[in-house]
Each structure stands twice: as structure tokens, then as C-alpha cells.
């Protein structure tokens, strides 16, 4: 039975490496780190005093004073990234099509900046000084709700909250909405603005974050023997998904096709992955089955690769479980070595990197890879980009709570007639 094909026609992002896809991708290929000292607040009392901040972002200039002050940073970033994706796709939302256009936005912790700021107001000045916008600003579904309002989307719209797997789950779920015929187009991806003192203090108490305050740009070092924890990042990464027929009918340029999606849970621990990577392996297997692909068809994997001891070891084990000896032939990279871990936005960002890698025939590196780990012995594209033509790429995201999500992307031929899904 033929199924509705889902393609990607637009990309938009604000990241620690740049405030457009072009800027971000250029930095990625240069192997440049976006990590530096925290400037958003006074971090002097924290054990970790660096992160991957979005730089040079002026919400008032982008959105106007009235709207900017009514939105948490996470929603501000989402509106701008969505605008970029729609413009990139040359997609117009009108009264005639708005009921068939929706959005699924993933986020790990939503408007946590608003929560902290307004709780401070409450404690210092009392309840009368709490902003009337507090509740809508802090809700995890606010980014999706706000882009619906800003751009007039009346189709399916909800938030996915699966910690660090949120962005990937959002894209997968949005693709399924299109497949079952409930929408013609969806904005999907992830957003996060979690560089706040409480979050960093909490991660520090878990001993999950790097503390290389004297060398922030080398702190995120996925799969390296000397890795000592992840580096927090922020941003928004949004993709415009359309049914193949819808995109073709309007003459859109198709960037890639989503051919596989898998999602599982470890059922093991709230923060630690299963050491053998069983849940992650299950997610990858489901995505391959959904794509109707054999393991030897995958040309590249963008790994979750957080730079924590447990994640990188378990993900490597999971890849070996799924791909067997073929695992040693697949180039794998963790772009978190440059962006930091953007939490709920990570999956959207890494989906964009997969699309760009297929589009340009070049693989992003894993920077800061200096000392091999015997438990992580695959090809991690160390330190320098690599030219390689891709037909199929896989992206992994795993989150606290045991959440696992995997996407498989396919290159679409120039004439847009090749059925990349094999249906």
C-alpha cells in the first residue's frame, strides 16, 4: 500500500553558532565551537559558568516591544525560526489553506526563564507584582500556540515534551499527522531557552555537566575518553514539512524526505540510559523498519552524542547492536561538540544538519575528539568535515525519562520523481 510521502521544504534556526541556517551550517563545517562564558546572568556562583548562548538576538527589533515583552525567550526564538523556515520554503499561509497547516513544537522545560523571574517578583514584591502574562509565557505549549497566532495556522497544534528527545519526536509526530491526511503542511522542530541558574545548578548537582570553566570551547567532547559531561545550549530549529504532492503542486524545492521514524522508552532509569543501549537500539530498529530499509543503506548518523560518560558509551553499544559489523563503516558525528546540548531543540537542530549534509555532500565533524575511548570505537568523523554523498541519514535523540527517538531522512532526486521511500 502506498503511503503519503512527507518532505522537508523549509529550514529556520537560531543557535549558539548563528542566527540563520547559513551562519550555523558554515560554523559547523568550519568546526567552530559556539560555547563561551555565560552572559545572560551572573553565573559566578555556579560550578559551570559557560554555555552555548544565542548571540546578538534582539527580540524587540525582531518582534516589536509589545509582543516581545509578552513572550518568554523560548517563544521569541520559535517565532523567528518559524518565520525563517516559511520564508525559506516560499510558503504563504492564506485563508484558503490555513486549516490544513499545523505545528508540533518540542521543548524540554518551556518558559523556565519566566518561572524564575516571576517567582523572584512574587517573593520580593508580592503577588500584585506578578505579570498577568506569567502563565501563558511559561507553558510548554506556548511556542506552538504563539506561532499559530503569529502566522495564522489553524491545523493540528500541540507540544511534545520528552526532554532531550522532544525535537525529534515533534518532527516524527508531525510527519505522522501528514501521513494520515490530517494536514498538508506542518511546522515541526524544537525550542529551548534553559540557560538559567536553577537548571545549571540542578544539572551540576547531578554531576551531568562539564566544569571546564578554563576552556569552554573544548568542554563538549563527545565520545572522547576525557569527556566530563554535557554543555548546555539554547535556540530554536524549525522545519517545514509537507506532503510530497502538496509540495510538488506548488513547485516547492524539496530538500529531503522523512522516510522513517521510531520511538521507544528504556523503562530503566529517569536520567541514566540503559548501559547496553537497548531502548536506543529499539528506536533505531523501528525507524529502519518504518523506512523499509536494510542496515547497509544508512550512509551517516548524527548521534545524540552528549559528551557524558554514560550516553556516549550506551549509544555506541546501541549502534553496534542495530548495525552489527556495518557500524564500523558508518560515519557518525555529534554536532553537540559545537552547539552544546540544546535539550528540546537538539533534535530539530540535528535534523537540519542531516538535511544540509545530504544537500551538500559533506559531513559535519565531531570536534574536540583527541583521546579514543575503547568503549567508543566507531568512526566519529573526528575534528574535520568530510565529503561524502548521502542517500540516507539517521538522527538520534535520547532524553531523561528514558525517551528515545530516531528519524531517517532520504535524499530526493532533482526531478523530484524518485520514490525515496521505496513505496
Is 217 exposed, middle or buried, given 0-12, 13-18 or 19+ CB atoms closer than 10 A? middle
Is 235 exposed, middle or buried, given 0-12, 13-18 or 19+ CB atoms closer than 10 A? buried
Q: Which of 88, 164, 246, 403 is catalytic?
A: 164
Q: Which of 88, 246, 341, 403 is catalytic?
A: 341
Is 4 exposed, middle or buried, given 0-12, 13-18 or 19+ CB atoms closer than 10 A? middle
At 369, list the grid cell: 575528539
268 tagged catalytic: no
Q: Give counts: helices (H), strands (E), the chain.
A: 14, 14
Q: Are 180 and 241 a contacting pair, CB within 8 Å?
A: no
Report the distance separating Cα 242 and Cα 279, nearest Å. Answer: 30
Q: Are 15 and 267 a contacting pair, CB within 8 Å?
A: no
Question: How many Cβ atoms are within 10 Å of 370's Cβ, its own excluded?
Answer: 12
Task: Give the residue carrying C-alpha cell 505522522.
Answer: 176
Helix/strand/coil for 276: coil
Phi, psi of 244, deg, nearest 5: -55, -45
How many alpha carbons fall within 13 Å on the CB side of residue 143? 40
Report the distance separating Cα 368 and Cα 28, nearest Å. Answer: 13
State the DSSP code for 233: B
304 tagged catalytic: yes
Q: Are 52 and 234 a contacting pair, CB within 8 Å?
A: yes
* First-residue to last-residue Cα distance in the chain: 7
At 378, list the grid cell: 566507531
How far apart, in Å, are the Cα atoms of 274 and each of 101, 213, 237, 348? 38, 30, 28, 24
Report the distance separating Cα 260 and Cα 172, nearest Å. Answer: 8
Q: Which of 304, 354, 376, 403 is catalytic?
A: 304
In angstroms and rounded to an integer, the radius of gyration of the C-alpha atoms of the chain is 20
88 tagged catalytic: no
Report the distance separating Cα 372 and Cα 398, nearest Å. Answer: 23
Q: Which residues are catalytic?
A: 164, 304, 341
Amino acid at each position: 500500500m502506498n503511503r503519503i510521502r512527507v518532505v522537508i521544504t523549509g529550514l529556520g534556526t537560531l543557535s549558539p553558532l548563528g542566527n540563520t541556517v547559513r551562519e550555523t551550517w558554515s560554523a559547523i563545517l568550519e568546526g567552530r565551537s559556539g560555547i563561551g562564558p555565560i552572559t545572560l546572568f551572573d553565573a559566578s556562583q555556579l560550578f559551570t559558568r559557560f554555555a552555548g548562548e544565542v548571540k546578538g538576538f534582539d527580540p524587540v527589533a525582531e518582534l516589536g516591544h509589545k509582543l516581545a515583552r509578552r513572550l518568554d525567550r523560548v517563544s521569541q526564538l520559535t517565532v523567528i525560526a518559524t518565520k525563517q523556515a516559511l520564508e525559506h520554503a516560499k510558503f504563504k499561509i492564506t485563508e484558503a489553506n490555513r486549516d490544513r497547516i499545523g505545528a508540533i513544537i518540542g521543548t524540554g522545560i518551556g518558559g523556565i526563564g519566566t518561572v524564575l523571574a516571576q517567582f523572584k517578583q512574587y517573593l520580593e514584591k508580592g503577588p500584585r507584582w506578578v505579570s498577568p502574562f506569567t502563565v501563558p509565557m511559561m507553558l510548554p505549549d506556548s511556542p506552538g500556540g504563539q506561532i499559530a497566532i503569529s502566522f495564522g495556522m489553524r491545523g493540528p497544534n500541540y507540544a511534545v515534551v520528552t526532554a532531550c528527545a522532544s525535537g525529534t519526536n515533534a518532527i516524527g509526530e508531525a510527519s505522522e499527522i501528514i501521513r494520515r491526511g490530517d494536514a498538508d503542511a506542518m511546522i515541526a522542530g524544537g525550542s529551548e531557552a534553559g540557560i538559567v541558574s536553577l537548571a545549571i545548578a540542578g544539572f551540576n548537582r547531578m554531576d551531568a555537566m562539564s566544569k571546564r570553566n578554563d576552556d569552554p570551547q573544548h568542554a563538549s567532547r563527545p565520545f572522547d575518553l576525557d569527556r566530563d559531561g554535557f554543555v548546555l545550549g539554547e535556540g530554536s530549529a524549525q522545519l517545514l514539512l509537507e506532503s510530497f504532492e502538496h509540495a510538488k503542486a506548488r513547485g516547492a524545492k524539496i530538500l529531503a524526505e522523512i522516510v522513517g521514524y521510531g520511538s521507544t522508552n528504556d523503562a530503566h532509569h529517569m536520567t541514566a540510559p540503559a548501559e547496553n543501549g537497548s531502548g536506543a537500539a529499539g528506536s533505531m530498529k523501528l525507524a529502519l523498519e518504518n523506512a523499509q530499509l536494510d542496515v547497509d543503506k544508512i550512509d551517516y548518523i548524527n548521534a545524540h552524542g552528549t559528551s557524558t560518560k554514560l550516553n556516549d558509551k550506551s549509544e555506541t553499544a546501541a549502534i553496534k547492536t542495530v548495525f552489527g559489523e556495518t557500524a564500523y563503516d558508518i560515519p557518525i558525528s555529534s554536532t553537540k561538540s559545537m552547539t552544546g546540548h540544546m535539550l528540546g531543540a537538539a533534535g530539530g537542530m540535528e535534523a537540519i544538519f542531516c538535511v544540509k549534509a545530504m544537500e551538500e555532500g559533506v559531513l559535519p565533524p565531531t570536534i574536540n575528539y583527541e583521546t579514543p575511548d575503547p568503549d567508543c570505537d566507531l568512526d566519529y568523523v573526528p575534528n574535520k568535515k568530510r565529503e561524502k554523498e548521502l542517500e540516507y541519514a539517521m538522527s538520534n535523540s535520547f532524553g531523561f525519562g528514558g525517551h528515545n527517538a530516531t528519524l531517517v531522512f532520504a535524499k530526493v532526486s532533482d526531478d523530484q520523481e524518485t520514490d525515496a521511500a521505496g513505496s
